[in-house]
Chains A and B, each alone.
Chain A
């Protein structure tokens, strides 16, 4: 005979959304005497609840050894009581022939989840708990049933590894069929130790995806394309945080579907593994592993004055293995006629033709750069360009000035 039960309800803040949909069934191991009437179950002396909670057992028939627990009129303040509500009543099982079976102080624990559902991201490995701050659990969480537009092969894993030591944190979401834009509902099953489980039905679930989990940050960049969530938030907006303070997330306002991610104080060549912590309204956080790769583009680019046409290499420093896509370049503040040779490769170059350079000229070059496999957002980088005089290159195929003097009369 089990003499304890934990019941769950779903709240958003102080507003109850639903109570668990299943009624726990209890079995009395002692059977009535042969030929005697079936057991009857009687609840009395309910106490420990602030409101007028009512509990009763409904026999499942036969000899009455199985009965279903039902309840009503549990006050919201009892569900959400800080630290949990522990109520008790006395249970008497009888048939007026056999000796009564008495269970004094049958314990009923009330617990609740405080969330509006789950928004889960492809690749997330951790997140927030739907339990209120005062409830450390642990419980065993599973999601045995999905409905609505969610893919049929969806699987949500929770912390505790399927055991009883979890707090409802989603540690993995897998689906081969998902487009990661689907929405639907899940039945959330929670079990407190060996007590009967509780099913919270119709918990909203949204699937989402980030377009990038690798960010390249150039310490001389002026802009970066945003990292984007592929769907609107369920609430007013998403919130974004980084687990590493060196990773900087701009707050673009609005629904914050997209944010620009940069770095601060990170030496070029450094890779930082961090978690993007994204929260959708009042739903638990999603922790998505990401990497910030700090890199540097040659700056300044010094072009020695030479007679011939030539080029200077524009390259990314760091331990990169990426083939870059160098986009269109724009020169500013420089009079010399230069060309930025973008394209795909490990480097790009600046080139010029005969007599295109002006001595002591300088300016800037701005261009976009992105891994060619588009595995990270495109960045806009600004580098300085300086042209300086060096000794003319000796080219025996060309005439040259071998001496020049000013004569002031």
Chain B
């Protein structure tokens, strides 16, 4: 059986932690506090957008926003499935905090025509 060595510093920390766990009040307090805060379920939020025209990809990526807790979040990366279809990856969020996706003025097609500003609410 392989025995792992622990150094002196690690040993002292272990002893202190064990001692504290033996005090009932502290143990229960720590346990109760831990149980009351469930982990927030976070999900990858992606938005698939189909445009009517082949788009200037950089302009779309630069002007796409996800509104989370009233703040704007820019895409982490974008997958272009075609010249007119993109999946924008914004990262992981609590979906309760996500309110809206929009593309602001500045996004253009390949001919430089300005995209109609677009807004879609998350719950729509």
Contacts and interface: CB of A to CB of B under 8 A. Distances in A.
Interface stretch (A109-117, A259-267, A340-348, A399-407): A399-407
Contact of B117 (A307, A397, A403, A408): A307
A305 interface: yes
Contact of A404 (B49, B104, B109): B49
B67 to A, nearest CB: 10
A401 B115 contact: yes
Give chain B's interface secondary structure class. strand
B55 to A, nearest CB: 7
Contacts of B121: 359
A359 B102 CA distance: 10
Contacts, number: 80
Nearest to B98: A406
A359 B115 CA distance: 17
B113 A401 contact: no
Nearest to B122: A406
B100 to A, nearest CB: 8
B97 interface: no
Question: Of A389, A397, A400, which is in contact with the most chain B CB atoms at under 10 Å from its CB?
Answer: A400
Nearest to A393: B116
Interface residues of B, number: 31
Contact of A399 (B48, B55, B100, B119): B55
A398 B53 CA distance: 9
A389 B119 CA distance: 9
A170 to B, nearest CB: 68
Contact of A401 (B87, B104, B116, B122): B116
B77 to A, nearest CB: 14
B113 A359 contact: no
Nearest to A308: B116
Given A399-B113, A400-B52, A359 B95 contact: no
Contacts of A400: 51-52, 115-116, 118
Contacts of A395: 116
B72 interface: no
Interface in A300-340: 305, 307
Given A355-B104, A408-B95, A398 B113 contact: yes
A409 B88 CA distance: 13
A402 B46 contact: no
A354 interface: yes
Contacts of B117: 307, 354-355
B45 interface: yes
A405 B105 contact: no
A408 B114 CA distance: 29
Given A407-B46, A409-B44, A402 B51 contact: yes
A392 interface: yes
B28 to A, nearest CB: 37
Given A354-B114, A408-B43, 6 more contacts: A359-B121, A399-B55, A399-B115, A399-B116, A401-B103, A408-B44
The 3 closest A-B pairs by CB, nearest first: A307-B116, A355-B105, A403-B50
20 contacts: A307-B117, A355-B104, A359-B119, A392-B118, A398-B115, A399-B55, A399-B108, A399-B114, A399-B116, A400-B115, A400-B116, A401-B51, A401-B52, A401-B103, A406-B45, A407-B45, A407-B46, A408-B44, A409-B43, A409-B44
